[in-house]
Amino acid sequence: MKIGKWIGGGLGWAIGGPIGAMLGFAIGSLYDDKNNITTNISGHTNQTTASDFTVSILVLSAAVMKADGKILKSELEYVKQFFVRQFGVEKTKDLMLVFKEILKQEINLYDVCQQINYYMQPPEKLQLLHYLFGIALADNELHPNELSVIETISRYLGISASDLNSLKAMFVKDNNNAYDILEIAPSATDDEVKKAYRLMAIKYHPDKVSHLGPEHQQAAKEKFQQLNQAYETIKKQRGMK
């Protein structure tokens, strides 16, 4: 099996621009068939497909992992297990080969993020950032350089500082992380807490990324569950009903 045939068939917008160039170069390095990924496209689409999202993860994960100057086994294993759940063992073998080739390339974050930002909807971008925090914390440490890269990605994707802090709080725990997840201050009134939860529940609802496939939706459900846990923590602390 050639990876270009099955991943190319599901690619929409990601085949063009800097992302497509990086992917084509990686596949060409492995299979000496740089045209394979373009000759198997079923038709360009502006809607983000599961393959578009997957390729975006490959490229941005590489950028985050390279930020601290070392590629850790725990980080590679995290990526591997993610794709095993999504695609199965056999396809993951090919994906990891491509990923390792992407890790060797220089990544122009601005150009890559411009392409993603043009096509992805806000819920998809939030889910992408949630995944990147998971990669960065795979070794149980958020290196300052990794955080800096994620912050840069967030800025290029037009994600607000409050949304960035909300996602970060799901991984980095402190006394106020439940409030940070809901994007409110500890001084918020009970009514403001309830209102914030309702707004965040709409923003983080798993149905917003259902078109990306079951694995990505499962990750969205985990994010939604973290939101619910934050809300329940605040309610318990305050004695709210």
Terminal C-alpha separation, the chain: 56
How far apart CA 188 and CA 170 sit, in angstroms, is 20
Q: How far is CA 156 from the centre of its chain?
A: 14
Query: Chunked in runs of 10, what are the mean pLDDT values of the chain (241 residues)?
Result: 51 84 81 48 64 90 88 83 79 86 93 95 95 85 92 97 95 90 95 96 93 83 94 93 77
CA angle 97, 151, 17 (to 5 degrees): 50
Residue 40: predicted pLDDT: 40
Residue 41: predicted pLDDT: 40
Domains of the chain: 1-159 (no CATH), 160-241 (1.10.287)
137 DSSP 8-state letter: T
Write the single-letter amino acid at 148.
S
Residue 42: predicted pLDDT: 42
Residue 31: predicted pLDDT: 67
Residue 1: predicted pLDDT: 43
| Contact (Cβ atoms closer than 8 angstroms) between residue 57 and residue 87 | no
Residue 164: predicted pLDDT: 96
**DSSP letters spanning 15-75:** GSHHHHHHHHHHHHHHHS-TTHHHHT-----SSPPHHHHHHHHHHHHHHHHHTTT---HHH
Residue 139: predicted pLDDT: 77
Q: What's this model's pTM, rounded to 2 decimal places?
A: 0.86
Residue 44: predicted pLDDT: 52
- From residue 102, alpha-carbon distances to 92, 99, 160, 232 in Å are 15, 5, 28, 41
State the sign of the Cα–Cα–Cα–Cα dihedral 173, 193, 188, 122: positive
